[in-house]
Amino acid sequence: MNILILGASSSIGAAIAKYYYKHNLILSSSNINNLESLNEELKNIGSSSIELTEIDLSKNKYEKKIVNKNIDLIINCASSTSNLRNNSQKIIEYKHHAYVDLISPLDLLKILTKNQISKKSKIHYVFINTVISKIKSPGNEIYASYKILQFEYIKIFKLFFKDSFIFTNIVLGAQFDRKKSTTKLERIIKKIDIAIKEQRNEVFFGVE
């Protein structure tokens, strides 16, 4: 299976990459240098098919080779606002956040879905976010609003493309922390894997 992980240098992205190390991995980050240590870790545990690519969601910029690839699964862990409270955001960065958390992931999904339709196969899009995206907690409304908008647009995309892609929305009950014990991390990722295999529309679970 060919798996594209957006935001692979994030805590959750790196943990997912390690779980799927036996598959063909395409790891993306806005800065490819951020993926070097993860690349080495994956090689050390036996991964033999890893491709690193720079996908700058803030500029809606993708490499042509990625757009034309046969991708079975996209796991979107990227966000520029998940760790930012409203009062810490800078006015000059509003376009940056709009592209990372809304526009670029939708554009990429649209392009890749069209490619897969021409190949008569479906792409599975997995959207990972935190519970804040559901409850609009005070001070985090911008992150929540972007995620809600993205979720609603994906539903429209599914109608437009006549269910030509599979969509799974995964809501974590808290911020994902790479410092958690290996056992706890594995339990979290296994839950994500089950949701993907069962092609569930939406799943919510707490982070231990």
Q: What is the pLDDT of residues 84-135, one digit of tens each?
A: 666 666 767 888 889 999 999 899 888 888 888 887 888 999 988 887 777 7
Whether the predicted pLDDT of 179 surpasses 60: no
C-beta of residue 74 within 8 angstroms of C-beta of residue 123: yes
Cα 186-187-193 angle, rounded to 5 deg = 85
- Residue 5 near residue 17 (C-beta atoms within 8 A): yes
- pLDDT class for 20, splitting at 50, 70, 90? very high
pLDDT of residue 67: 74
Query: What are the pLDDT digits (tens) for 77-95?
Result: 988 887 766 666 676 788 8
- Name 6's bridge partners: 76
Angstrom distance (rounded) from CA 100 to CA 121: 27
Cα(23)–Cα(200) distance, integer angstroms: 21
Q: Which of 49, 45, 43 is nearest to 24 (CA)?
A: 49
The closest of 122, 34, 36 to 74, measured between CA atoms, is: 122
Give the pLDDT band (50/70/90) at residue 175: low
Supply angle C-alpha 10, 15, 17, rounded to 5. Answer: 95
Is the backbone of residue 101 left (phi > 0), alpha (psi -120 to 50) or beta?
alpha
Q: Is 23 helix (H, G, I), strand (E, B) or coil?
A: coil
What single-letter DSSP state applies at residue 103? I
Segment 31-68, tens digit of pLDDT: 888 899 999 999 999 998 999 988 888 887 776 767 77
Distance CA 68, CA 27 (A): 15
User: Whole-number mean pLDDT of the chain?
Assistant: 84
Place of tokens 């911008």: 142
Q: Whole-angstrom distance between the N-terminal and C-terminal Cα of the chain? A: 29
